[in-house]
Amino acid sequence: MNYGYQGKILEVDLTTQKISQREVRKEEVRKYFMGSGLTAKILSEEADLSLDPFDPANPLIFMAGLLTGTMVPTACKLSVCSKSPLTGIWNESTVGGHWPAQFKFTGYDGIIIKGKSDKPVYLWINDAKCEIREAKSLWGKDTFETSELLKKETDEKALVAAIGPAGENLSRIASIVFDGMNARNAARGGPGAVMGSKFLKAIVVKGKKRPEIKDREALRELLKKEIPVIKEKAEGLSAFGTSGGAVAVEAFGDLPIKNWQLGSWEEGIKRISGQRMRETIWVRHYHCFACPIGCAKIVKGNGKHGKFYGHYPEYETTALLGANCLNDDLELLAYVNELCNRFGLDSISTGNTLAFAMECYEKGKITKKETDGLEIKWGAPKAMITLINQIAKREGFGGEYLADGPVKAAKKIGKETAELVSQTKGLDYPAHDPRGHFSMALSYATSVRGACHLEGLTYFLDRGLKIEDFGYVESPDQFREEDKPEITYNLQNFLSVYNPLGICKFLMGRAEPSQIARWVNRVTGFEMDKKELLKVGERLFNLKRLYDIKLGISGKDDVLPKRLLTAKPDGKAKGKVPDLEKMLPEYYKLRGWDEKGIPTKERLKELDLV
């Protein structure tokens, strides 16, 4: 009997239209969990890493977490993994909502997709049956419309994961949008483009085979006590969503403003905050599967820029399509957020790309001659709306220069514009400034998919969240370097089990490692303590690092961009710059890596990776 996981993975070859399946071994589950953990093992051992991300033979893997679809709090996550078309290295994009659990109810833990169809298709997985169906009539349609049409064609209770025009046109910042207008996104690193390169428009799922739980009653008794505590610790998220923290982020000196140039934007961020959304455009709360928090919100409006009705702008969107573009127009923010969701675009990379273009225009690096007369001024509604349309459709200036993100845009434009891009390992930055939290400098520099705040979430400690299992009960000094290597090492190992388990990272600081280990044990029957749980996390962090090393990544790439090593002129982080060279040697020592950032054979042996 398999507990927590179904034990089967679908394999679909779109070139030959062959559908098969493989078994999952129990010892693999104990060693790697599921989600991006088992996927890292599969890709590391089986994928040809020399392939271009758009090569038909490059695998695209959807893998639900070990606990996904159970009653464990927030057990709703699935990872989409592949070699990234944006960065050329490891990529995992993780999504919640209801699609991942519904997919797992079909009786499968994952799908390995290879090949390329000769025409647009979609997959229809109904319980254990998988079909490849024609999708020619859907090609060119946005993700919301695609979802509605496919539900009518298959089953009204089915759930849809789809790409929009951005993925079809191979924009390297394209996302995959799940659950229609509820718009849960697998976005970072361009997974929508990999899906588009295979002519795969969507995956539709419906199932009723729930995963077995080893000790259901014992788990239920645990959760009766623990869920109320989680809800209490997440009251702010429940009320206002992630955007509710935007004002506090600005106060910490952490907000990206005017393409990462400024340090203070107090009044502007209030006008587009989660609190302001709740007062004006909020319609209702939205809970992902098994989530007691309900941080997602649905908003609605018919403003001067256009209608919007769907998932609200999360904090990252608020910061990067708001503050980073000097856009304090809430209706514009909500409208361009919906455009990104409909077109299937990563709103983080889109915000960074637009801010980059605005600075280029301001400094004369691009002019109206290149933009066909479009004035790309800070926060300009026409510029933002036009460029997002152009990026998704690969039309005009936006399609030619911006559709593949800011790093590649700078290469095309030249004129020393690369200095205007904030990126590490090819991935542009999410909306937390390492000058505001020095631990994030180390986390960003060493993250396996490039600049990623979710691989450490170290700034949570600076905000007052506690993790007693590590002894973190008081907020550290956000600008002190000495304790950051250990904090980063510990939290990266801890966060590395979240995606493989299929739980939400907003549990961090609200559920201890020992607590999560107990959930795993009740579901699977394992006898795992927090030490073993964290060792799995460390194993997976190193496994993904090894994937990158095969592609040429090493310590030379564990860096921050020049812009984020330049002090802010104002705000709480004024004059503050993290000393990465001071922190990296101690971090490498804790990791068991050599001075070049390569894991030693001794550490790999300890982690059972050799």
Domain 434-606: state its class.
mainly alpha
If you search the block for the tokens 């993790």, which residue do you land on?
467
Q: What is the mean pLDDT of each run of 10 residues along the chain (610 residues)?
A: 97 98 97 98 97 98 98 98 98 98 98 98 97 98 98 98 99 98 98 98 98 98 97 97 98 98 98 98 97 98 96 98 98 98 98 98 97 98 98 98 98 98 98 98 98 97 97 97 98 98 97 98 98 98 98 98 98 98 98 98 98
Q: Say how far apart CA 167 and CA 169 lie, in whole Å.
A: 5
pLDDT for position 430: 98
Domain 237-251+257-421: state its class.
mainly alpha
Tell me the CA distances in angstroms from 351 to 51, 270, 379, 385, one per residue in order. Answer: 29, 19, 11, 12
Q: Say how far apart CA 386 and CA 358 lie, in whole Å.
A: 13
Radius of gyration of the chain (CA): 22
Domain map (residue ranges) of the chain:
8-206, 237-251+257-421, 434-606
pLDDT for position 387: 98
Q: Which H/E stretch holds residue 204? A: strand 200-206
pLDDT for position 595: 97
Q: What is the pTM of this model?
A: 0.98
**176 neighbors 191 (Cβ within 8 angstroms):** yes
Per residue in 105-146, pLDDT tens?
999 999 999 999 999 999 999 999 999 999 999 999 999 999
Q: Which two tokens stand for residue 365?
A: 């690096």
What does DSSP assign to residue 291? -
Q: Which two tokens stand for residue 493?
A: 């190992």
Give the list of residues 6+ apart from residue 415 with CB closer than 8 angstroms, or none: 365
Task: Count other Cβ atoms within 10 Å, centred on residue 473.
Answer: 9
Q: Provide the residue type at 315 as one letter.
A: Y
By residue count, the chain amounts to: 610
Tell me the CA distances in angstroms from 169 to 178, 188, 394, 412, 451, one per residue in order. Answer: 19, 17, 7, 18, 25
Q: Where are the alpha helices (DSSP H) in 234-323?
A: 235-240, 246-251, 266-271, 274-280, 315-317
**219 neighbors 8 (Cβ within 8 angstroms):** no
Angle value at C-alpha 307, between 304 and 313, nearest 5 degrees: 100
Residue 453 buriedness (CB in 10 A; 0-12 / 13-18 / 19+):
buried
Cβ contacts of 138-144, under 8 Å, gap ≥ 24: 138/201, 138/202, 139/168, 139/201, 140/165, 140/168, 142/342, 142/343, 142/344, 143/177, 143/180, 143/183, 143/341, 143/342, 143/343, 143/344, 144/180, 144/181, 144/183, 144/310, 144/341, 144/342
Q: Where are the alpha helices (DSSP H) in 123-215?
A: 143-153, 165-168, 191-197
Per residue in 310-357, pLDDT tens?
999 999 999 999 999 999 999 999 999 999 999 999 999 999 999 999
Per residue in 147-177, pLDDT tens?
999 999 999 999 999 999 999 999 999 999 9
Task: Count other Cβ atoms within 10 Å, centred on residue 551.
Answer: 14
Q: Measuring CA to CA, which residue among 499, 475, 518, 352 is closest to residue 424?
A: 352
Q: Say how far apart CA 517 and CA 528 lie, in whole Å.
A: 6
pLDDT for position 239: 98
**536 neighbors 33 (Cβ within 8 angstroms):** yes
The residues facing 467 across adjacent strands are 472
The CATH architecture that domain 8-206 belongs to is 4-Layer Sandwich (3.60)
If you search the block for the tokens 């203070």, which residue do you land on?
264
If you count DSSP H runs as helices and E runs as strands, how many of each does the chain have, helices first? 25, 17
**472 neighbors 461 (Cβ within 8 angstroms):** yes
